[in-house]
Amino acid sequence: MSVSLLSELLTDEFADAIGFVLPPAAMRIVFRRSVAVRKLTQAIRHSVVTEAEIRDFVASIVKSFKFGEGLTGDLALAAIAVAIERLPVDFVDEYLDALASLRLREMSTCIRIARECIKHRANLPKKEFRQQSYLRTRPGTLQQPKQLKIHLLFVGTKPKTLRSRSARLLKTVGSSFDKPDSLRLPTRPQSIRGYI
């Protein structure tokens, strides 16, 4: 199914459905409103069509490039540019930037459309994600917790004893707090949670 969604962009039916090639700003809208392009966008969002499949498809079109002759698949490359324009992944920037940087008359439609897509993509929010651990940046603070949690429960023990027992036990199982004193124990015995 995924391959057919891409190869549909090479058919006469698709070319006829989008009609004559309008100026790029309008043509981008024509592509966006095309059923085939909308289906492709959905398929990419849901991983029915993968980045690898798009790359293979693009490579197969590019392979047929001949100097002085319009590229078969020019419209398909343009349609892909519009289909992926809004997706928040780096591959899209890579695709659009590479296409827009070309200056080849043989594939002028897709190049113009890619440039148009870039203009519009510039107005989309770029969502950049980072995951960082506070403790990795702060070796001096509490040691980084790991997956396993151990609940230490000492009831009825004096606080001082409790402190030393908990620190000893944590050391025994291969972990301890850098600053055992920072374990603020309650004035009366209860539970302490430690992490290893």
What is the footprint of another protein within residues 42-101 (CB under 8 A)? 45-46, 55, 58-59, 62, 65, 67-70, 72, 86-88, 93-95, 97-99, 101
172 sits near another protein (criterion: CB under 8 A): no
Residues 103-162 that bind another protein (CB under 8 A): 103-108, 112, 118, 121-135, 137-138, 141-142, 144-145
- Smallest distance, Å, CB 174 to another protein? 18
According to CB under 8 A, which one of 5, 6, 34, 36 is a site residue for another protein? Answer: 34
CB of 144 to another protein, least distance (A): 6
Q: Is 10 exposed, middle or buried (0-12, 13-18, 19+ CB in 10 A)?
A: middle
To which H or E segment does residue 192 belong? strand 191-195
Q: Report if residue 2 touches another protein, rule: CB under 8 A.
A: no
Task: Give the span between the Cα atoms of 121 and 168, in whole angstroms.
Answer: 58
- Please return the burial class of 86, using the count of CB atoms within 10 Å of its CB with bins 0-12, 13-18 and 19+: middle
Q: What DSSP string describes 137-150?
A: G-TTSSPPP-S-EE
